[in-house]
């Protein structure tokens, strides 16, 4: 039997976008937050793949906190594209928005490349969200806010009609033991929206930096999947994920299968 593959370091995983990778190397860990560096690198790679396929448009994040993932997202956009960060900015205190703004500037995302929106998604209207984007439909949406079944459902339904045809949605803290109803909301959403698919799962680094689901339209699933499998072939967990009736890849730092004594 061959020796199992070693667990990789998350610093070995790259997005392929120089600005994103510089931030991941030199700034990501210094910004408070719980987002996974591994997931940020793979998401940056997905932004690069979108650009190579001619997919353009702004990006949106629900739940920016102090900007750890948002800054990586903004660096992954092309010139002229805007990142919109949405948060209530009331936790753990009212100064969190000031820290978010300062972190963005410190790590190379000036005000002209982003929009900060202090808002509650529970009362948000789709037309207001689209208006913030200047009428441009987003190509990338990251949802990392309330962590309740109801909140995730609201945000999914809010943003789905606004998505560009080739858009992806990245959902944070899936399969997290602290938020077991989030995945219930996702399965219910997929039943209501049969044209949407889980494109891939990005595995956790720890309980804190937990799993992400990446969703896209079924028409784009294979195009993205082929390129992701090539870009992150060292990070493919062999069994994949069964979202019956379709299968999707799982990307992980630890691609080993459990050893069974023979």
Q: Are 20 and 50 in contact (CB under 8 A)?
A: no
Q: Quick one: tokens of 96?
A: 């969190």
**225 vs 4, which has greater pLDDT?**
225
Q: pLDDT at residue 218 above 70?
A: yes
Nearest-angstrom CA–CA distance, 259 and 262: 9
**H-type helices in 164-256, by residue range?**
182-192, 218-231
Q: Are 181 and 171 in contact (CB under 8 A)?
A: no
Beta-strand runs (E) in 30-177: 59-62, 83-87, 114-118, 140-143, 168-174
Helix, strand or coil for residue 132? helix
Residue-level pLDDT at 8:
65
Nearest-angstrom CA–CA distance, 252 and 201: 9
Q: pLDDT at residue 189 above 70?
A: yes
Binning pLDDT at 50, 70 and 90, where does residue 9 land? low
Sheet harboring 140-143: ordered strands across? Answer: 114-118, 83-87, 59-62, 140-143, 168-174, 211-217, 196-202, 250-251
Binning pLDDT at 50, 70 and 90, where does residue 259 land? confident
Residue-level pLDDT at 260:
78
Mean pLDDT over 155-170 rounds to: 98
Cis peptide before 245 (omega within 30 of 0): yes
Q: pLDDT at residue 4 above 70?
A: no
Task: Please state whether beta strands 241-243 and 250-251 pair in parallel, antiparallel, or not at all (unpaired).
Answer: unpaired
Nearest-angstrom CA–CA distance, 127 and 159: 10
Please give the mean pLDDT across all residues of the chain.
Answer: 94
Task: Please state whether beta strands 250-251 and 196-202 pair in parallel, antiparallel, or not at all (unpaired).
Answer: parallel
Residue-level pLDDT at 88:
97
Q: What is the pLDDT of residues 86-112, one digit of tens each?
A: 999 999 999 999 999 999 999 999 999
Q: Quick one: tokens of 89?
A: 């900015």
Question: Backbone dihedral region of 210: left (phi > 0), alpha (psi from -120 to 50 degrees) or beta?
Answer: beta
Q: Are 249 and 236 in contact (CB under 8 A)?
A: yes
Mean pLDDT over 138-159 rounds to: 96
Task: Sketch the domain layout of the chain as residue ranges.
Answer: 11-22+34-251
Q: Quick one: tokens of 163?
A: 């998505």
Nearest-angstrom CA–CA distance, 143 and 120: 13
pTM of the model: 0.94
Residue-level pLDDT at 15:
98
Mean pLDDT over 171-200 rounds to: 96
Selected from 3.30.300.30, 3.40.50.150, 3.50.50.60, 3.30.1360.10, the CATH number assigned to the domain covering 11-22+34-251 reads 3.40.50.150
Q: What is the pLDDT of residues 40-78, one digit of tens each?
A: 999 999 999 999 999 999 999 999 999 999 999 999 999
* Burial class, 246, CB count within 10 angstroms (exposed 0-12 / middle 13-18 / buried 19+): exposed
């Amino acid at each position: 039997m061959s020796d199992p593959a070693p667990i990789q370091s998350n610093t070995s995983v790259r997005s392929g976008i120089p600005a994103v990778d510089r931030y991941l190397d030199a700034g990501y860990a210094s910004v408070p937050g719980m987002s996974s560096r591994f997931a940020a690198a793979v998401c940056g790679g997905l932004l690069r793949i979108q650009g190579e396929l001619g997919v353009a448009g702004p990006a949106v994040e629900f739940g920016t906190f102090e900007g750890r993932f948002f800054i990586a997202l903004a660096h992954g956009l092309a010139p002229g594209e805007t990142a919109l960060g949405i948060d209530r900015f009331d936790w753990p205190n009212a100064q969190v928005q000031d820290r978010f703004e300062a972190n963005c500037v410190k790590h190379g995302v000036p005000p002209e490349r982003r929009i900060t929106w202090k808002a509650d998604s529970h009362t948000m209207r789709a037309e207001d969200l689209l208006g913030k984007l200047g009428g441009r439909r987003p190509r990338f949406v990251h949802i990392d806010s309330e962590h309740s079944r109801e909140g995730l459902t609201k945000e999914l339904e809010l943003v789905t009609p606004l998505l560009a045809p080739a858009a992806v949605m990245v959902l944070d803290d899936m399969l997290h033991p602290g938020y077991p109803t989030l995945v219930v909301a996702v399965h219910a959403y997929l039943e209501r929206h049969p044209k949407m698919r889980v494109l891939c799962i990005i595995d956790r680094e720890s309980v804190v930096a937990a799993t992400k689901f990446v969703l896209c339209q079924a028409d784009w699933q294979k195009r993205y999947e082929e390129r992701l499998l090539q870009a992150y072939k060292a990070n493919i967990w062999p069994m994949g994920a069964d979202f019956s009736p379709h299968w999707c890849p799982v990307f992980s730092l630890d691609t080993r299968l459990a050893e069974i004594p023979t």
